Structures are given as C-alpha cells and as structure tokens.
Structure 1
Amino acid sequence: MKIKFNNANPVFFQSLKKEVEFYFEQKQIPKTGNWKLYGKAVVVISFSFLLYLFLLLGHYSGLVGMLLSLLLGLALISTAFNVMHDACHNSFSSKKWVNNLMGLTMNALGGNALLWKIKHNIIHHTYTNIDGVDDDLASGAWLRLCAAQKWRPLHRFQYLYMFFLYAISTFAWMMVFDFVKYFSKRIHTTSITRIEPKEHVIFWASKALYVFFYGLLPVYFVGWQAWLIGFAIVHFTMGLVMSIIFQLAHVVEKTNFYSAQEQSSFPTGSWAEHEVLTTTDFAQNNKLLSWAIGGLNFQIEHHLFPTISHVHYPAISKIVEEQCRKFSLPYHTYPTMRQAIASHIRLMKELGGKSFQLAG
C-alpha cells in the first residue's frame, strides 16, 4: 500500500524553512560546506591513505598491526560520515562535479554511491521508520527493529548478539547486499527503474579496484594471515561504529515506528512532522564527537534539511527546537551518546519480548 503524507498545508515546515533561510541570509553564508569541512576532508582522507600505506609497506608486531587496522577502520568510517555523506546529499559543495567526485569515496570504501543515494536519500529520508519500505529496518530474521516485525524466539537475545551483526554489517553490505540490489534491481520493496550505462561501469570497476587494493595487494605484501586479521578488524570497526551511529538516530525508545502493512498505523501528518517524530539527536554538546561523525548526532536537522551541510547543524538546531516547540511537536534528544546507546539496548531488549506491540 502506498504511503502518502498530508502535505496539503505544511505550516510547520513552511515556518521552519523561513527561519532557517533567514539565518543563512543574515549570516551571508552558503548552505553547503565551508573551509572547516574541506579542511576536515583533507585530514580524514590523508589519514586514511597514510594508515593504508603504513599497513601495506611496514612490518609490525601483531599488536601494532591490529592497532593500525583499528585506526584505519575509524579513519575510513569518518571519511564516510564527513565526506561521502555530505557529498551524496549534494551538501558538500555548491558544485555538482565536486559532490559527484567526493561521493565516489563511497566506492573507494567498497560500497556504491548510486545504490546508497537510492537507499538512503530517496527511501530512508522519505519513509523513515516505516517498516516494509525503509530499508534501514530490513534486517531479515536476525533482528527485530520494530514491533511490526515478526517475533522469533532468537530475538530474546538480540540485545546481546546485535553488536556482532553490526560489526560484520559493512562487509555484508559491500560484498553481498550491493550485489543483491544490483542484480535484482530492487532495494527492499522499491524497484530501481534504470541504471545508466556509466553506472554499470563504475559499479564493476570500483568493486574490482576494491578487491585489488584491499585484498590482492595487501596479501602480496603482508601475507594472507596478517591481511585477514587486519581486514577483519577494519570492517569490524567500520561496521560497529556505522551501525551504532545510525541506530541511535531512529531505533531508540523516543522515536515512533509505522508499518506499511497496517493502514491504521500510517503517518497522519506532513512529511516534515513525520521526520521529527521518527528521529532523535544525541550528544549535541559533544563537539569532538560531532566533528568525528560528520554531525550525525544532529539527525533531526539532517532529516529536515539533508542538502544543508552538517557543519551548520549545531547552529540551526536551536531554530529547529524552537519551531518544534511552537507547533507542539516533540524534539527528541539524548544529552549523551551513552544515554542514547542505553536507550537503543533497552528498546532492542523490549522488542525481543513477544508481547511488545507497535506504537506510533
């Protein structure tokens, strides 16, 4: 059943956009990235490249090699958060070619920018937390991320084993799920209407290059055993960090969930109101965390204004909170990341109980 939002008279979003537009006009600054973002991009990309070279060309003890692999995983996922994410939303730069180029950092990390844009920008940002449409909620039989999903006995322990599944998520995504989406031309329940010829070339060329630079070349220089351990640590680090950051935005106790299979649970408000109800911020005052994860602790602001660079989210969050209060909408936030993680664990434990029902 098709999900439709009541956007006939979106007074909340109109008022919010007006205030945000006034902020940028008053400051006389662009909505896209600035020197802070570009400087950070140079840092995280350079750090990733240097760590890769150190691991490839150096000869280290086991512990040093594992530490460098962990750091490489952190550097790569920080590149995804800070560079790829903004670029794929066309908020990294005002120039389209720069966004397209920086968006290809997704391919350099083993993924595919086109599939990410469809999965994330179009599906997730439109149908957030709607089971049966939002691919971010589609975790198969292993995880029950909302009460609309079928309960299985193994879910009683999901709050314990979920971290292992998070750790292997980037490897599964890049090496399995990308190919499933590519060949089936579907992302969960949404069809991919057309893939341009150049995108086929980019898909196969970047996958082949990833196998060469992250597989064949390291095996040649360091041997398959050292490579396997390092490669596993890199992906475990990336997967765990990425999954936790994204789960804290939507799969916590404060957010609403809906089901595409149950009309009674359909969203009744506008799209913008839906995004506010299904999203939460966390650790807004932690500047170091915000720097490292590309402002993804300001998810409400990001979902409402995905084409505004994350460097502006701390400033406009005050406007968003004020407008939510004005229109009697909740503004969900957790003061610390620890509290957000605790909320996620509690929710996953509750969802592991068979009696937990859909709320929204």
Structure 2
Amino acid sequence: MEKLKRPVFEKPGKDDFFIKLHREVEEKVLKDESLRTKNIIKSISLLLIYVIFYSCILLFGNNTWLLFLFYMLGGFTMIVLFINAFHDAVHGAVFRKPKYNEWFTYTLELFGSNRWLWTRRHISLHHAYPNVQDWDSDIKQSDLVRIFPASPLLSFHKYQHYYMWLVYPFYTLNWLYIRDFKDFFGQKDNYVKRIATIPQKEIYRLFAAKLFNLFYMLAVPMLVLSQPWQTVLYAWLFMHVTASMLGVIALVSTHVDEDAVFPMTDDQGRLGTTWAEHQMIVTKDFSTGSPLANFLFGGFTHHVAHHLFPGVGHTYYPYITPIIKKYAEEYNLPYTNYPFYVAIRSHFRMLKNRGNVGNIMSAGEI
C-alpha cells in the first residue's frame, strides 16, 4: 500500500471562531435532553417501520402491486434509517451510553454492509479530511467520474453529466456488492488500508451480513410467496433503484456542487486552515427550512452543523445552525444553504465543468 503523508491542519488561535461557537452551542443548545429523547424515539421507530414494511412484503406480496410498493417503502425506510439513526449512532450521538450506540450500528448488517468498514471510511477519512483528494473516502471516485480538479481528465468525462443520471440509481447495489469488496480486498487506491488493518473477523461478518440480507430479502419472499421468482427479483431491484434515488440527494448536495472547494496540501502536507475552518469551507447545507427534508435526511440538511459537531445528534442541528450562521458572518467564513433541487442541479453542472477539456486551462491544470 502506497504511503501518503497525512494532511495537517493549522492550530487554532486565541480568537478562533470555533472556540466561541462551541461555547455558545454548549450553553444554549446541548443542555436540552428532550432533543436526545426525540432522536432515540425516531431511531427506534424507523427500525420498527423497516420491520413492518418487510413483514408486509410477506403478508401482501402475492399482489404484485403491493409487492413492489412494500419493497419500495422498505428501501426508502432503509435509506432514512441509515441517514438518520445509523449515522448518528456511528458518531455516538443517539444514546448517552456508548455501548447502546455500538449495538445500534449493527443495523447496517441488516442491509448487507459492514459497520466496521463504514465507520473507518466515514469517521477516520471523510470527517477527518473532507474534500481532500486521496483521503476523503466518501467522495472517492473511480475512472468513471471526475470530481477532483487534480484527477486525470478522460475523453468520456465530457458526457458524465449525462450518464451519471443512469449510474446514481444503482448506488446502493454498487455500495453493497462492489465497493465493500473493493475496500476489503482491493489494493489500488485503498484508502481504508492506509489507516487500519482489517480484522479477520470482519471479513467473515461481511460475507455473513450479505448472505443474511439476500436470504431474508430475496430467498424468503421467493419461498413464501406464490409470485414467480423473477417478479420478486425485479421488486428487489426496484427497491434498490428507488432507495438510491432518495439517498443520492443527500450524497450530492453537501460537498460536491459547482462551487465546491477541494483543498490541496503543500509539500509538507499542510492544508493552511484550521480543522473547523476547513469544515466551513468544504461543507454546504440544503433545505434546512423544510420539516420533511429535515426528517428524511437528518444531519445532512444541516450538514455544516454535523461536520462541526459530529458527536451531537441531528435533532439538535436546527438550533445550532443559526449560531453557525452568526459566526460565519462575523468571521467572514462561507456558509451556503440552498434547496435540494438547486443542489442537485449544481452538482451536475460541476460534473459538466469537470468533464470539459476547457476546464483544464481555466483551473490552471497542466
């Protein structure tokens, strides 16, 4: 595995905005335990709803329309449960006791993924170095798509703002059945192996989780229902496509728009900003004023608050964001909040710009 120098942030000064911000958030927001209770109720309820929709597949799935409907609803709930409850639990932000958060992270195994692997990708790489090439695993790219300005420009990238519309609906299938295996067994550009040695037991858990997921989501309905096996398979694929479309809204709206910044390190590995300044520069909010968006996407709508306070549950973020905006204005730091459809449009404009050969000169890349 190639050796890369870890990025280094500047040390905050005495007048650092985050010191004042953190103090005010502690005093005005974090003492409200009712917001933690709200998060616990929401997390457990989402898990129960997922189980209910799965049960409905088995109970009513002999009707083809209901089969597709409950697979779709199960897929939506899977994404919402992942984005809200699992995501917060990984950050230790649902329950007060760490062991309860750890137990809840095993819900990811229900979906066929691996909690150990996802935690290393998200906590140790994405949150540590968001938008930093070769370190941010959450926006790690293949040759299929060009996001980072310093990445090679290939001839077909000029079409990426078209064909990615067809690729994104398969996000969850790629995540569960391609990317997980690449991160466990791949050697080229393997970000996870730069920071951790994968325990042998996690390899067994990876295969066990995927087999268990395929067993209860595919094999059991095929055995229990009178539907042709192909119909169940199509409903399962429909679940992943529709779930991916919901999930991609969160994925593309917070870090990778047309104005996104991708900081580069100098020869000594320094990024030139403090950790908190970096989070402000590379992170965006979307649809923060929408109750529906806040319910569905949790810490992704108020994503700046999440990156500055990752150990705090998403139910606190609507009360933290106004404080962030105040200090962003006072210290002349960037803050962006736009509707999700504007964020998606901006993302595809970014793809168009990154795939344009003319962008090489305009970006100063030789």
TM-score by length of 2: 0.89
Choose from 287, 293, 302 the match for 1:283: 287
Distance in 1, Cα, partners of 2:192 & 2:53: 39
Q: 2:130 touches 2:279 (CA, 8 Å); kept in 1?
A: yes
Q: Decide whether aligned partners of structure 1 residues 63 and 161 sit closer, same or farther in structure 2, where only a CA change above 3 A counts.
A: farther
Choose from 10, 14, 17 the match for 2:19: 14
Choose from 241, 244, 257 the match for 2:246: 241
User: 1:136 aligns to what?
Assistant: 138
User: 1:210 aligns to what?
Assistant: 213
Q: Does 1:165 align with 2:167?
A: yes
Secondary structure, aligned partner of 1:295: helix
Secondary structure, aligned partner of 2:273: coil
Secondary structure, aligned partner of 1:328: coil
User: 2:312 aligns to what?
Assistant: 308
Secondary structure, aligned partner of 1:268: strand
Choose from 349, 353, 357 the match for 1:354: 357
Q: Decide whether aligned partners of structure 1 residues 149 and 265 sit closer, same or farther in structure 2, where only a CA change above 3 A counts.
A: farther
Secondary structure, aligned partner of 2:288: coil
Distance in 2, Cα, partners of 1:329 & 1:108: 40
Percent identity, aligned pairs only? 27
Q: Decide whether aligned partners of structure 1 residues 266 and 144 sit closer, same or farther in structure 2, where only a CA change above 3 A counts.
A: farther
The residue type paired with residue 270 of structure 1 is: T
The residue type paired with residue 84 of structure 2 is: N
User: 2:191 aligns to what?
Assistant: 188
Choose from 151, 154, 175 the match for 1:152: 154
Q: Does 1:252 align with 2:257?
A: yes
Q: 1:13 touches 1:272 (CA, 8 Å); kept in 2?
A: yes
User: 2:120 aligns to what?
Assistant: 118
Cα distance per residue 1:313-334 (max 9 Å; x no partner): 0000011111111211111211
Cα distance per residue 1:214-263 (max 9 Å; x no partner): 23222223442012111111111222222221210000123311346x75
Q: How does 1:20-169 map to 2 (within 5 A)?
A: 20-24=25-29, 28-30=31-33, 34-169=36-171
Deviation at 1:45, TM superposition (A): 1.6
Deviation at 1:34, TM superposition (A): 2.2
Deviation at 1:207, TM superposition (A): 2.5
Give structure 1 regions of 4+ aligned residues with deviation exceeding 6 angstroms.
Answer: none
Distance in 2, Cα, partners of 1:213 & 1:120: 27
Q: 2:159 touches 2:352 (CA, 8 Å); kept in 1?
A: yes
Q: 1:258 touches 1:265 (CA, 8 Å); kept in 2?
A: no
The residue type paired with residue 263 of structure 2 is: Y
Distance in 2, Cα, partners of 1:23 & 1:74: 34
Choose from 298, 314, 317 the match for 2:321: 317
Distance in 1, Cα, partners of 2:358 & 2:112: 39
Q: 1:166 touches 1:243 (CA, 8 Å); kept in 2?
A: yes
Choose from 224, 227, 239 the match for 1:221: 224
Distance in 1, Cα, partners of 2:19 & 2:179: 38
Distance in 2, Cα, partners of 1:210 & 1:59: 18
Distance in 2, Cα, partners of 1:208 & 1:145: 33
Deviation at 1:39, TM superposition (A): 2.3
Distance in 2, Cα, partners of 1:338 & 1:39: 29
Deviation at 1:77, TM superposition (A): 0.5
Distance in 1, Cα, partners of 2:70 & 2:165: 22
**How many residues align structurally?**
354
Distance in 1, Cα, partners of 2:224 & 2:235: 13
Cα distance per residue 1:20-52 (max 9 Å; x no partner): 112246xx324x962322222233222211211
Deviation at 1:122, TM superposition (A): 1.1
Deviation at 1:62, TM superposition (A): 3.5
- Greater Cα shift, 294-303 or 160-169: 160-169
The residue type paired with residue 25 of structure 2 is: V
Distance in 2, Cα, partners of 1:322 & 1:99: 32
Distance in 2, Cα, partners of 1:315 & 1:70: 33
Secondary structure, aligned partner of 2:272: coil
Distance in 2, Cα, partners of 1:315 & 1:265: 35
The residue type paired with residue 273 of structure 1 is: E
User: 1:329 aligns to what?
Assistant: 333
Deviation at 1:134, TM superposition (A): 1.0
Deviation at 1:200, TM superposition (A): 4.5
- Greater Cα shift, 213-222 or 289-298: 213-222
User: 1:3 aligns to what?
Assistant: 7
- Greater Cα shift, 83-92 or 55-64: 55-64
RMSD: 2.4
Distance in 2, Cα, partners of 1:250 & 1:199: 30
TM-score by length of 1: 0.90
Distance in 2, Cα, partners of 1:295 & 1:137: 17
Gaps of 5+ in 2: none
